[in-house]
Chains A and B, each alone.
Chain A
Amino acid sequence: MLAQLDIRGGEVLEVKRAAPWGGPILVETNGSVVAVGRGLARKVLVEVLE
């Protein structure tokens, strides 16, 4: 499901904002914006670019 939305290995992600109260993270990749639940987002392995 995440892969279908372009969140997968090798992709550059930009975290745009995070919702309060442990809410989702708003992530942008290749022009689309996806809200990803905090628990799920925590499991995504990322390398910080900037």
Chain B
Amino acid sequence: MKVALIGQPNCGKSTLFNSVAGYRSATANFSGTTVRLAWSKVRLNGFLFELIDLPGIYSLTASSPAEKAAKQFLLSSEVDLIINVVDASLLSRSLELTLELREMGLPMVVCLNMMDEAQRKGVSIDSRALGRLLRLPVVETIAPRGLGVRNLFTHVGLQAGWKPAPAEALRWHRDVEEALRTMEAELDGCCADGRLSHRFIAVKLLEEDGELQERATAAARARAAELRGQLERTHGRPADSVIMSERHDRSMDLFEKVAVVGRPQADFRARIDHLLMHPVGGYACLLALLVAFFWAVFGVGAAMEDFLLARMDAWFAQWGAALNEGTLGYAVAKSLWDGFAGGAAIVLPYLVPLLVGLALLEDVGYLPRVAYLMDGLLHRVGLHGTSTVPLILGYGCSVPACMSTRIFASRRDRFLACVLATQIPCSARSVVILALVAFYLGPGWALAVYGFNLVVVVLSGRFLTRLWPEVSPGMILEVPRYQWPSATVVLRKVWMRLREFVKLSWPLLIGGSVLLGLAEHWEWTRLINAALSPLTLALGLPVAVGTTLIFGVLRKELSMVMLVQALGTAEISAVMTTVQILVFTLFITFYIPCVSTLAVLVKEIGKKLTLAAAAYSVLLATLIGIAARFLLGALLPG
């Protein structure tokens, strides 16, 4: 049985999903969409469910790609039952989606989540009365604590196959209801797909919904246009707006019947916001938080790197002694080990704390606050506050950052946010910055690299908005309550990203390392390095570095690990000057995003724009590298 979880953003769907889904759950691309939906098989109360977590939507009137994907999934595939997750503390608003979903006529259970939040807000809800009025099972849950979840799935099992019956309480005002009935009658005998109710199709036709209009017959479309005209004349506004207020009225009605609003309990979280969104304090906190975050990641990472590198070297010295240096066997064994050790001792120590920290910030609900604080500043760059979300996610990995741009309706905003997000140093590039610059030159330099990167991103934004000017519609972003991060959700997010590293990048790292080892053994590297020497010479880097730049296109951490191998020493500061280390890092940070990011970019913004973005990044990286070489060279001795 396929069960779809659907609800408005931040209603706790994913927490619910994670509380029942096993660790075997996967994200999958469903046909026709590029949005990843999480799904998992769950065995509960003797039933086997296939649970699908759809992206949060406010209504079925789709505007952004994420909303379109959720809607398409509901319309086209064989969903057997809908669990409508509702944030009980925002009941009146959430009911509008409930009513719209109910119209579809699919078996449905309402999950009244976050009951504790509602109580804190002084809202007490009679869920039985709500169930009676909606004629649907309504189950109270507190997902983070797992309360009511088993009960919810009992009802899911019982409700399977039962379509919602018509409900008296949900009838619309007479003239609208009449128009709707006429439309429904028109649909008899045609357009029946047996799954969606006639009422739903009729409503959507009156709302001028593109997708369902395509499916309807010409006669039905003509009739819908006629009825729409009637409604518009009597109400003096567009038909879809009339229908929207019908739903709104019904929701308010239901809310008044089932909920009593009392005095809210004092909420300490309001006071936190008072500080974190303060016009001065907010920025100070943001800055302090980012610096603390950096120090924590670097502190943990550097300590682990020191320890692990020494351990790995000792191991190889012990085991590698059996092989003779200079033989093919030695070259293979050494490079295999270097690739493995690079992943374990250089990448993981920085990657893990970085991912944990980002997942925490995301889960607590801090990102929308950052978006709020940064909106004003970002407007000067031609973006708006919502784009801080992809930018911050970019510090983790460019792939989800680019995917998150789907929340923008405008193509131009998506392109800008994608290009800028890929210029933010992702965790792989952070590994280079931390393991190279911070480790050898000191954390101050690393902070400077991050700061400089931000300046470039801002200037880049300015430059690109000049090329593609458009009035940005401005930001509309819900600011959810803070919540305690749930350990399962955070761990799952970290694991998802780590799994990608362990399964994909680490083998690539080891394979790349062996390739480089062999190339060195047979002295092919000289050819590659010679071919790249115009670039390396222009940047003032050792010629041996050339090959590592090529490998960086696969994965940016490869460059770092290979650098150790290409230079033949882990003591990089002995062979590269401060300026060279900085130029190398800056070039790595800005030039072409890695292969997986390029693949996502092609999906999100198309081939042409991806190519443009890549070319732009190489040009930018080279210019910055050359400028850094001469400027820093003049400022720094050696």
Chain A residues close to B by CB (< 8 Å): 1-6, 8, 17, 19-24, 26, 30-40
A-B contact pairs, 28 of them (CB 8 A): A4-B61, A17-B277, A19-B279, A20-B279, A21-B377, A21-B379, A22-B379, A23-B373, A23-B374, A23-B377, A24-B475, A24-B477, A26-B277, A26-B479, A31-B90, A33-B479, A34-B476, A34-B479, A35-B385, A35-B476, A35-B479, A36-B475, A37-B474, A37-B475, A37-B476, A40-B473, A40-B474, A40-B475
Are B371 and A35 in contact, CB atoms less than 8 angstroms apart?
yes
> For residue B385, which residue of chain A has the nearest CB?
A24
Q: A3-B244, A6-B93, A8-B248 are in contact. Are A23 and B372 (CB under 8 A)?
A: yes
Minimum distance in angstroms from A25 CB to a CB of chain B: 10
Are B63 and A1 in contact, CB atoms less than 8 angstroms apart?
yes
User: Knowing that A32-B93, A35-B479 are A-B contacts, what are 15 other residue pairs whose CB atoms are under 8 Å apart, sorted by A's residue number?
Assistant: A2-B476, A4-B58, A6-B92, A19-B373, A21-B377, A22-B379, A23-B376, A33-B479, A33-B480, A35-B368, A35-B385, A37-B384, A37-B385, A37-B474, A40-B474
What B residues does A38 contact at CB under 8 A?
376, 474
What B residues does A39 contact at CB under 8 A?
474
Q: A17-B277, A31-B121 are in contact. Are A22 and B376 (CB under 8 A)?
A: yes
> Which residues 42-73 of B sit at the A interface, judged by CB distance below 8 A?
58-59, 61, 63
Minimum distance in angstroms from B417 CB to a CB of chain A: 15
Minimum distance in angstroms from B344 CB to a CB of chain A: 42
B375 at the interface (CB under 8 A from A): yes
What B residues does A8 contact at CB under 8 A?
248
What A residues does B478 contact at CB under 8 A?
5, 32-35
B547 at the interface (CB under 8 A from A): no
* Closest A-B pairs by Cβ, 8 of them: A37-B474, A23-B376, A21-B376, A4-B58, A37-B475, A40-B474, A20-B279, A23-B375
A12 to B30, CA, bound (A): 41
Minimum distance in angstroms from A44 CB to a CB of chain B: 11
B398 at the interface (CB under 8 A from A): no
What A residues does B121 contact at CB under 8 A?
31
Q: Of B90, B96, B279, B475, which is within 8 A of A35 by CB?
A: B475
Q: A21-B376, A35-B477, A37-B375 are in contact. Are A4 and B90 (CB under 8 A)?
A: no
Minimum distance in angstroms from B153 CB to a CB of chain A: 28
Q: Of B58, B123, B277, B474, which is within 8 A of A5 by CB?
A: B58
A32 to B385, CA, bound (A): 19
> For residue B480, which residue of chain A has the nearest CB?
A33
Minimum distance in angstroms from B175 CB to a CB of chain A: 19
Interface size on B, residues (CB 8 A): 34
A26 to B248, CA, bound (A): 22
> For residue A42, which residue of chain B has the nearest CB?
B474
Indicate with 1 or 0, residue by residue over B123-135, a CB within 8 angstroms of chain A CB atoms. Answer: 1000000000000
B597 at the interface (CB under 8 A from A): no
What B residues does A31 contact at CB under 8 A?
89-90, 93, 121, 123
What A residues does B61 contact at CB under 8 A?
4
A39 to B372, CA, bound (A): 14
Are A30 and B475 in contact, CB atoms less than 8 angstroms apart?
no
Minimum distance in angstroms from A26 CB to a CB of chain B: 7
A1 to B476, CA, bound (A): 8
A31 to B61, CA, bound (A): 23
Minimum distance in angstroms from B9 CB to a CB of chain A: 10
> Which residues 248-296 of B sit at the A interface, judged by CB distance below 8 A?
248, 277, 279
Are A24 and B372 in contact, CB atoms less than 8 angstroms apart?
yes
What B residues does A19 contact at CB under 8 A?
277, 279, 372-373, 375-376
What B residues does A32 contact at CB under 8 A?
90, 93, 478
Minimum distance in angstroms from B532 CB to a CB of chain A: 44
Minimum distance in angstroms from A40 CB to a CB of chain B: 4
A36 to B474, CA, bound (A): 8
What A residues does B123 contact at CB under 8 A?
31
Indicate with 1 or 0, residue by residue over B355-397, a CB within 8 angstroms of chain A CB atoms. Answer: 0000000000000100111111101000011000000000000
> For residue A6, which residue of chain B has the nearest CB?
B93
A20 to B284, CA, bound (A): 13
A30 to B61, CA, bound (A): 21
Minimum distance in angstroms from B501 CB to a CB of chain A: 34
What A residues does B368 contact at CB under 8 A?
35
A39 to B378, CA, bound (A): 14
Q: A4-B58, A17-B277 are in contact. Are A34 and B477 (CB under 8 A)?
A: yes
> For residue B57, which residue of chain A has the nearest CB?
A4
> For residue B63, which residue of chain A has the nearest CB?
A1
> For residue B94, which residue of chain A has the nearest CB?
A32
A31 to B264, CA, bound (A): 11
What A residues does B376 contact at CB under 8 A?
19-24, 38
A22 to B308, CA, bound (A): 49
> For residue B121, which residue of chain A has the nearest CB?
A31
Minimum distance in angstroms from B19 CB to a CB of chain A: 24
A41 to B279, CA, bound (A): 19
> For residue B282, which residue of chain A has the nearest CB?
A19
> For residue B117, which residue of chain A has the nearest CB?
A31
A3 to B238, CA, bound (A): 14
Minimum distance in angstroms from A3 CB to a CB of chain B: 6
What B residues does A24 contact at CB under 8 A?
372, 375-376, 385, 475, 477
Minimum distance in angstroms from A14 CB to a CB of chain B: 13
What A residues does B92 contact at CB under 8 A?
6, 30
What B residues does A40 contact at CB under 8 A?
473-476
Are B279 and A5 in contact, CB atoms less than 8 angstroms apart?
no
Minimum distance in angstroms from B368 CB to a CB of chain A: 7
Minimum distance in angstroms from B282 CB to a CB of chain A: 8
Are A30 and B384 in contact, CB atoms less than 8 angstroms apart?
no
